[in-house]
Amino acid sequence: MPDRVIVGSDHAGFELKEKVKKTLERLGVRVEDVGTHSTESVDYPDFAHRVAEAVEKGRSERGILVCGTGIGVSIAANRHPGVRAAVAYDAETARLSREHNDANVLCLGGRTIEPALADRIVEIWLRTPFAGGRHARRVAKIETGSEQVEARSA
């Protein structure tokens, strides 16, 4: 489990982000919050890029983002090399995003997930290791595009 996680949200995810921070603190994880700090309307890509850049540059091993659905922040975060942002909406998607995809940014929907479920998702996501093996080959292809090279050389 990482000892530090960077978190961010837009206005629609603010309240759930605040609850997620409490979950992280309960688990003994240090939290860096890059905003937003209220429910005043803001643009979700601004906060998604802050979290993703910290993960991309190695300043944080993992990040958590919250917007209305988790989808917008995941799209923005995945624009960064080395970032594998996954929307999780239940325990199984949280587990598989780590086990199979080595997700390093968890995206949640502040309008779609109840706080108790978010608490469970966060804990599972933090505690689940990457399985490696055949999944490592697949995850490597995300960055390198080597599946395109293999297809052209076949």
Copy the structure tokens of residue 84.
């594998």
Annotated catalytic residue 67: yes
First-to-final CA distance of the chain: 40
Residue with tokens 């086990």: 99
The whole-number pLDDT of residue 71 equals: 98
Q: Which domains does the chain have, with CATH numbers?
A: 4-153 (3.40.1400.10)
Annotated catalytic residue 107: no
- Give the CA dihedral 119, 33, 50, 101, nearest 10 degrees: -30
The whole-number pLDDT of residue 146 equals: 53
Residues of the chain below pLDDT 50: 149, 152-154
Please identify which of the residues 37, 49, 80, 100 carries the catalytic annotation.
Answer: 100
81-118 pLDDT, tens digit each = 999 999 999 999 999 999 999 999 999 999 999 999 99
Least Cα distance to 39 among 16, 69, 70 occurs for: 16
Please identify which of the residues 67, 80, 107, 135 carries the catalytic annotation.
Answer: 67
The whole-number pLDDT of residue 143 equals: 82
Copy the structure tokens of residue 76.
């923005």
> What pTM value is reported for the model?
0.93
